[in-house]
Chain A
Amino acid sequence: MDSLLVWMEGTAIATWVRESPSLWAYPTILALHSFGLAVVVGASTVVDARLLGFGRRLRPSALKGLFPIMWWAFALNAVSGWLLFMADATRKSAQPIFYVKLGCIAIAIACVALIGRRIPASGDVTPGQGRVLAIVSLLCWTGAITAGRFMAYL
């Protein structure tokens, strides 16, 4: 495992991300990671808020259009996240808080998928439907962002 991490860190792409003085390397990838985060968590929060009863005038089926955007943004973050991980694989993989972040993301993204399936193509949701998923999703996104930020300090 260690040798795999060391190899990963030594690849040309990981070295470029870590050591290039170019703004297109680490700074841009980190910016893309923040951008993807804003879109996924932003859109997910809108859906969660609606399921919790906010903005009742909005038809839940209208929110279905947000899901493809969330998946694309999540893909962007999976790729940018991998690049950032590779650049510092030995250290990040040794940080317990990193696994807290990954776990939170896994649960939150599962909630997004389950919620996406439960929203009807037309008509309203019954009051309270998807409430638990919405709460878990919000909590896990909060946890994922906090854990991600704390990686720099723990």
Chain B
Amino acid sequence: MTTAGKFLTGTTAGLILAALVGVAPAVAHHSSTPFYDATKKAEVQGTVTKFLIRNPHSFLYFDETTPQGKVEWQIELGTAASLTRTGWTAETLKPGTAIKVSGQPSRAEGSHGMCCARITRPDGSPIMQGGRLTEEQQPPR
């Protein structure tokens, strides 16, 4: 068998094996890539629970307190690179930070997601100011 032949056989077998083994459902997870409705706007106040800075998209989670109990919101944000470059780090939105978020709501029924969000303190004042950041710097989408 040629080198290319061996390479091919090994790789193809690996790919098929991966496909067969992987078909079993993996861990439960939040809905895969959500879709958002640009014609609607959601505005919610709450408390930050998690700020996951990652690629290809970062996510901010916060809890809204409603008469029926807590509702967890998931905000889709930009890449780790773009957030960090504009000054948004894990320190910017620590768990417990009170925020107001307005953005486009997720289309998925029963979900609480937003994208393209504007994030401020509950009174509408900016989260970050000064330095090399422009006032009211918003997180990249």
Chain A interface (Cβ < 8 Å from any Cβ of B): 1-2, 5-6, 17-23, 25-27, 30, 67-68, 71, 74-75, 78, 87, 89-91, 93-95, 98-99, 102-103, 105-106, 109-110, 113, 116-117, 152-154
Interface of B is mostly: helix
Given A26-B55, A75-B7, A93-B26, list of 6 further CB < 8 A pairs?
Answer: A23-B81, A26-B81, A27-B81, A102-B19, A103-B15, A154-B32
Known: A5-B27, A6-B27, A94-B27. A22 touches B11 (CB 8 A): no
CA distance A109 to B4 in the complex (A): 11
Known: A27-B79, A78-B11. A93 touches B22 (CB 8 A): yes
Known: A26-B55, A87-B55, A99-B19. A19 touches B27 (CB 8 A): no
| Cβ contact within 8 Å between B8 and A113 | yes
Residue of B12, B84, B85 with most chain A CB atoms under a 10 A cut-off: B12
Contact partner of A26 (CB less than 8 A), chosen from B12, B24, B29, B79, is: B79
A132 to chain B, nearest CB (A): 18
The proximity string for B residues 9-23 relative to A, scoring 1 for CB distances below 8 Å and 0 otherwise, is: 001100110110111
The total of chain B residues at the interface (CB under 8 A) is 31
Of residues 4 to 50 in B, which have CB atoms within 8 Å of A's CB atoms? Answer: 4-5, 7-8, 11-12, 15-16, 18-19, 21-27, 29, 32-33, 35
Which A residues touch B83, using CB under 8 A?
Answer: 21
| Cβ contact within 8 Å between B32 and A25 | no
Known: A2-B27, A21-B85. A109 touches B32 (CB 8 A): no
Task: With CB as the reference atom, state the residue of chain B lying closest to A152.
Answer: B33
16 contacts between A and B (CB under 8 A): A2-B27, A19-B53, A19-B55, A21-B81, A21-B85, A26-B80, A27-B55, A71-B7, A75-B7, A90-B27, A94-B32, A99-B22, A106-B12, A110-B12, A113-B5, A152-B56
Known: A106-B15, A109-B12, A153-B33. A18 touches B26 (CB 8 A): no
CA distance A109 to B18 in the complex (A): 16
